[in-house]
Amino acid sequence: MIEHRYDLHCHSTASDGALAAADVVQRAHEHGVTVLALTDHDTTTGLAAAHAQADVLGMQLIDGVELSTTWQKQCFHVIGLGINPQHPALAQTLRDAQIIRYERAKKIAEKLEKKRIFGAFEAVSAAAGADGMITRTHFANFLFAQGIVHSQQEAFDHYLAKGKAAYISTSASAWTALEQAIQLIHSAGGIAVLAHPLRYSLKAKQLHRLLTAFKDAGGQGIEVVTGRCTAEEIKIASNYAKQFGLLASVGSDFHSPSNQWVELGRLAPLPEGVESVFSRLL
């Protein structure tokens, strides 16, 4: 029996990754991954090229997406694994998200102009490409390239994070509601997994309420092992998986080789006692 190595969360240039989809697959292969899910933010346009490369390498590529959703006015990321990218309602939601992102980008650029930083919209829309998804990462890269900040992190800390000078809230209503996103993933044949549950800065009680709502809406899994998590965080997330009867997923959330902390396939094993999402995918 083949010992599989899974990585079920990563990004390409189809959203805010640094590598083209085929190069993400190639790099995953080189890092020993045998089952990869490409999960770009609100887009599936990288999947065709990813499949072509996975076929060359004899790797298994799961069709994935990371949907931006809202629940109680906050943004949460829900991963769809094994979705049909052609599903009409899902495809429509992704087209809507592209417009939301385009409009938000114009507003972010206007806020930067008030700080006398010009040319951001032109730069990020060119970087994202004609049918690309404009993300805050694109703005962070622009601010870094301009020498306005010394790192991507500083771009978020000073300009792009919630409450900072160029932050535009999309939380009020723009993104798909959490419950609807789960439904969409189901109707497109996929499994809905709550991404990086410990990265939303929620207090235990709020996280409990989120997981209750997620489970009630038909959500099936949560990420237990993510790119830069501690042993303690794995323990906490696996306890939530058990408590809420959710499948455990594993994904690096790889974006770029320049982030030395997060690499494809470099993931801790799932702890004992959780049921993994793997058997549902193969």
Taking alpha carbons only, the member of 47, 135, 39, 49 closest to residue 80 is 39
137 belongs to the binding site for ligand AMP (CB under 6 A): yes
- The residues pairing with 64 across neighbouring beta strands, listed in sequence order, are 81
Q: Looking at 45, 83, 253, 265, which residue binds Mn ion (CB under 5 A)?
A: 253
Q: Which stretch binds ligand AMP (CB under 6 A): 46-54, 148-156, 213-221, 266-274?
A: 148-156
- By CB under 6 A, the count of residues binding ligand AMP is 11
Which parts of the chain are beta strand (E)? Answer: 6-7, 35-38, 60-71, 74-81, 176-177, 191-194, 221-226, 247-251
Q: Looking at 12, 13, 53, 152, which residue binds ligand AMP (CB under 6 A)?
A: 152
Helices (H) and strands (E) in the chain, counts: 9, 8
Q: Which stretch binds ligand AMP (CB under 6 A): 31-39, 44-52, 118-126, 129-137?
A: 129-137
Helix 136-145 with 88-114: angle, nearest 10 deg: 40
Q: At its nearest, how many Å lie between ligand AMP and the CB of residue 194?
A: 14
DSSP state of 177: E
- Between 13 and 238, name the residue whose CB sits nearer to ligand AMP: 13
DSSP state of 261: T
- By CB under 5 A, the count of residues binding Mn ion is 5
Q: Tokens 């800065």 belong to which residue?
A: 201
- Interaction mask 40-59, ligand AMP, x per CB under 6 A: -x------------------
Q: At its nearest, how many Å lie between ligand AMP and the CB of residue 272?
A: 30
Instruction: Choose among Mn ion, ligand AMP, none what residue 153 binds, the Cβ cut-off being 5 to 8 Å by kind.
Output: ligand AMP
